Chains A and B, each alone.
Chain A
Amino acid sequence: MDVFGSFALILAFVCAAYAIVGGIAAILTRHPLLIKSARQAGIATCALIFLATGSLVYLFFSDNFSVAYVVAHSNRDLATFYKIAALWSGQEGSLLFWSCLLAVYVFSVLITYRNKNGELMPYVGVVMASVQIFFLTLNNFVASPFKVLGTPAANGTFDLVARADGNGLTPLLQYPEMVIHPPNLYSGYTGFTIPFAFALAALLARYPGEKWIHLTRKWTMIAWCFQTSGILLGAHWAYAVLGWGGYWGWDPVENASLLPWLTGTAFLHSVIMQEKRGMMKVWNVWLVFITFMLCILGTMLTRSGVVSSVHAFAQSSIGTWFVGFLTVIFLVCFSAYLYNRDYLKSENQLDSVVSRESSFLFNNLILLVSCVAVLSGTLFPVFSEWISGSRISVGAPFFNKVNIPIGLLLLFLTGVGPLLAWRKTSLDSLKRNFGWPAITGVFAGAIAFAFGFREFYALVCLILCVFVATTIGREFYRGARVIRSRSGASLVASAVDLTMRNTRRYGGYIVHVGMVLIFIGLAGTAFNRDAQKEMQLGSTLQIGPYKLLLQSYDQKPEKNYTAERMIVEVLQDNKPLMMLYPERRFFQTSEQSGTMVAIYSTLREDLYVVYAGQSPETQLPVVHAYLNPLVKFIWLGGAVVVLGTLVALLPNRRAVLVLSGAQQPAVVQPLTHALTPSVTLREGHD
């Protein structure tokens, strides 16, 4: 099966090469057979990558310990569930997995548009195949996952060697989220290849109008959705497994995943400017280019050892390949832009500082500033070494100082932006749309202040969260009320109907609600507490309203590890609440240990209990407990963001009329059958 996998990868490389060469020939000659053959070569490339990935998975499931990658990342006792995760747990497998997920996207695009957009698709096919061939080069010639173990024989041949068992999967990865977090994140990284391919293809082909924007919207949202859930699942994994009480440490690899998310988010907003007003065309094209380059940079940072990271794979020379690839991408994008920049001429100008356009502009500016700050902080050791010869890194204070105010500004714009009118917003409109939300936000802040809430950023965050939630709530309420008056359905049913009539707009609002929930969770960090104590049987540790009582302490042998476990009873007001079982696992095969945190999670706070090992002097178990308020809002918010994105991906139920209290008559003609005098109805998409 290893030979089969290697052979499939080589064939995939050949097919991708043909997809590029044949695609270029098809573009030049417009010959239908060439166009078809290049597309089919692209489809064959994907099919062969699927076969190669399938064969590596089979090697894991069949415990084939003659393959070096299987030996390094699996063992016979490893649970089946984790044999899947072993696929991406090392350099070679994760690069093949990258190729595989990219192939899923490429395959979908080639099939979806096989009979559509004939002028554009050959260009798209060439760009996608070019990205594929880079990764196939790595898969075949730089980091092959199908290398076999062997020893040179006396007659000059090579004897295959098979081990009796493998080394096992590293303990930190033996956690359910590691089976879903990397595929999500990689699906985000790879997914941004599609908007990149369409943007570059449209620029090269001088494809008319904003059609490429419409074509790529759903692909961008799918990639963004995966990137968002991947980041949050990674944060949850760090929270639940590493036993440090936190979920985000501004580690270079974490930052690498955030960078394309920031620019991708900026693109999802600024693209509306191009659709509605024909503006920001250059900006949008470069946002897509930069997002894709940041995806490649992120993939490189994890693998090259350029910057030290908690999550990185071992250092290797693979970084040179990525630097070369990034250079080629930049040169191609820059040349295409220089050659065709007249194609990107803006059709309109900004009219007013208080307008929908300016809110998008500032939203983009803020996201870009955040991206530059995170990128420069992440690569600071590299830059400082180039400039001064000293390798200097910056830590959490640097990232927090810049990104907390940026986050709050973004939150403010989340509430304000969608309700501002295009071109110019009148004072009356501002009062009508933001009067009550602003009063509600300030009122909530005043109550919190009166109850002793004194953390500045947390207080501002609370005010803004209430403000944004109120603006969104009012939007749903106003729209649902109109539908209810027509249909007689309940308010909730009307709100659902409203959402399904304009999924893009109301799906977007749901995403914003998710972001509000995430901000509430982040604000809770300001009130984290922790306590540590050596515990005798029957002794207690008080943290916040909880008392932890050590009831027992035991060892539990499992198939793949032995667990040292504390049995802790949690009491609240001296009444038993629940039992927690924090443990440390010792994996015999890899001779490594891992922490399993026990968490009692409520909406109000998380009680996070870590078994921190035994005291060196007394040999007593040490418990480290954290009380982290509002953390659950982050995971809830993530789920709401994903839900909102899925809603926004759905087609509208039917042509609709939607409410827009902010819309100015100068821009959109009011319809004659407006239902209430205070609102204007207009068609559609937002």
Chain B
Amino acid sequence: MQKQAKFGLGIGVIVLSMAFLAWLGYGESKTYYHTIAELQTLKGADLTHRMRLGGTVQAGTIRRLSGRVDFVLQGEGKTLPISYVGSDPLPDTFVDNSQALVEGRPAPDGRFVAEHVQAKCASKYEAAPGGNGGATSSSTQPSTM
């Protein structure tokens, strides 16, 4: 075999193998971003996707129950009840009026069952999105390494 062909074959095998693995990984982990308003218009199979929603934690709605934490997420004038059922403790930045990103699936009863919660506590003196400010955040994202 020509040496160029050998190199080509080696490179092809590596690239195709990695592309295949990437495709498998994509199928396992793809998550759709939606707003709360969009979620309420989804139908059929779209509601079975794993999804990520962003919003603000409505003040006074955090209720820590046995095995789950309930709260209401609001955004674009809409609200959505959330039940966090993940095993990791909620991040320190998860408080009233914090910006939160929840990941999970909608339940038939209209609640959203979240397995991960990421909270970004916009410091009260920082500029809102669009400004120059900063904020810190943390999440319940489980360790992958």
List the B side residues contacting A250 at CB < 8 Å. 144
Among the 9-residue stretches A125-133, A313-321, A452-460, the one with 4 or more Cβ atoms under 8 Å from chain B is A313-321
Task: Contact check, B143 vs A362: say whether CB atoms are below 8 A apart.
Answer: no
Residue B52, interface by CB 8 Å: yes
Task: Contacts A171-B92, A402-B21 given; indicate if A247 touches B145 (C-beta within 8 A).
Answer: yes
Task: Contact check, A314 vs B129: say whether CB atoms are below 8 A apart.
Answer: yes
Residue A492, interface by CB 8 Å: no
Task: Contact check, A397 vs B32: say whether CB atoms are below 8 A apart.
Answer: no
List the A side residues contacting B3 at CB < 8 Å. 350-353
Task: Contact check, B134 vs A246: say whether CB atoms are below 8 A apart.
Answer: no
A405's partner among B6, B21, B26, B140 (CB-CB below 8 A) is B21
Task: Contacts A365-B14, A369-B18 given; indicate if A398 touches B28 (C-beta within 8 A).
Answer: yes
Task: Contact check, A398 vs B26: say whether CB atoms are below 8 A apart.
Answer: yes
List the B side residues contacting A393 at CB < 8 Å. 30-31, 33, 52
Bound: A396/B95 CA distance, A: 26
What's the dominant secondary structure at chain A's contact region? Answer: mixed
Q: Which residue from chain A places its CB closest to the CB of B22 in the assembled complex?
A: A402
Bound: A310/B121 CA distance, A: 11
List the A side residues contacting B10 at CB < 8 Å. 353, 362
Interface size of A by Cβ–Cβ distance < 8 Å?
81
Q: 1/0 contact trace for A152-196 toward B, CB 8 Å?
A: 000000000000000100111100000000000000000000000
Residue A612, interface by CB 8 Å: yes
Interface size of B by Cβ–Cβ distance < 8 Å?
60
List the A side residues contacting B14 at CB < 8 Å. 362, 365-366, 369, 409
List the B side residues contacting A71 at CB < 8 Å. 125
Task: Contact check, A392 vs B31: say whether CB atoms are below 8 A apart.
Answer: yes
Task: Contact check, B29 vs A314: say whether CB atoms are below 8 A apart.
Answer: no
Task: Contact check, A402 vs B123: say whether CB atoms are below 8 A apart.
Answer: no
B25's partner among A171, A251, A398 (CB-CB below 8 A) is A398
List the A side residues contacting B57 at CB < 8 Å. none
A313's partner among B134, B138, B140, B141 (CB-CB below 8 A) is B134
Residue A361, interface by CB 8 Å: yes
Among the 9-residue stretches A45-53, A85-93, A326-334, A437-445, the one with 4 or more Cβ atoms under 8 Å from chain B is A85-93
Among the 9-residue stretches A504-512, A570-578, A590-598, A666-674, the one with 4 or more Cβ atoms under 8 Å from chain B is A590-598
Report A621 CB to chain B, min CB distance, Å: 12
List the B side residues contacting A532 at CB < 8 Å. 87
Task: Contact check, B32 vs A392: say whether CB atoms are below 8 A apart.
Answer: yes
Bound: A170/B93 CA distance, A: 10
Residue B110, interface by CB 8 Å: no
Task: Contact check, B32 vs A613: say whether CB atoms are below 8 A apart.
Answer: no
Task: Contact check, A391 vs B33: say whether CB atoms are below 8 A apart.
Answer: yes
Bound: A229/B22 CA distance, A: 28
Residue A400, interface by CB 8 Å: yes
List the B side residues contacting A106 at CB < 8 Å. none
B132's partner among A91, A525, A595 (CB-CB below 8 A) is A91
List the B side residues contacting A139 at CB < 8 Å. none
Task: Contact check, B66 vs A617: say whether CB atoms are below 8 A apart.
Answer: yes
List the B side residues contacting A392 at CB < 8 Å. 30-33
Task: Contact check, A310 vs B118: say whether CB atoms are below 8 A apart.
Answer: yes
List the A side residues contacting B28 at CB < 8 Å. 397-398, 401
List the A side residues contacting B138 at CB < 8 Å. 172, 242, 310
Residue A244, interface by CB 8 Å: yes
Report A264 CB to chain B, min CB distance, Å: 20
Report A311 CB to chain B, min CB distance, Å: 8
Q: 1/0 contact trace for B122-145 toward A, CB 8 Å?
A: 111111111111111111111111
Bound: A616/B71 CA distance, A: 14
Report A2 CB to chain B, min CB distance, Å: 16
Report B104 CB to chain A, min CB distance, Å: 12
List the A side residues contacting B17 at CB < 8 Å. 405
Task: Contact check, B143 vs A395: say whether CB atoms are below 8 A apart.
Answer: no
Task: Contact check, A369 vs B15: say whether CB atoms are below 8 A apart.
Answer: yes
Q: Which residue from chain B places its CB closest to the CB of A404 in the assembled complex?
A: B21
Interface-centre pick from A351, A377, A622 (highest chain B CB count, 10 A): A377
Task: Contacts A242-B138, A244-B143, A396-B144 given; indicate if A391 touches B7 (C-beta within 8 A).
Answer: no
Q: Which residue from chain B places its CB closest to the CB of A318 in the assembled complex?
A: B132
Residue B36, interface by CB 8 Å: no
Residue A528, interface by CB 8 Å: yes
Task: Contact check, A394 vs B143: say whether CB atoms are below 8 A apart.
Answer: no
Task: Contact check, B15 vs A248: say whether CB atoms are below 8 A apart.
Answer: no
Q: 1/0 contact trace for B91-123 toward A, CB 8 Å?
A: 111010000010000000000000000100111
> A71-B125, A313-B134, A399-B25 provided; 8 other pairs, C-beta below 8 A?
A248-B145, A249-B145, A314-B129, A365-B14, A373-B22, A396-B29, A590-B123, A616-B63
Pick 9 A–B contacts, CB within 8 A, sort by A: A72-B125, A91-B132, A246-B142, A313-B134, A314-B131, A395-B29, A396-B144, A525-B143, A528-B143
Residue ranges of B at the interface with A (Cβ–Cβ < 8 Å): 3, 6-7, 10-11, 14-15, 17-18, 21-22, 24-26, 28-33, 52, 54, 63-66, 87-89, 91-93, 95, 101, 118, 121-145
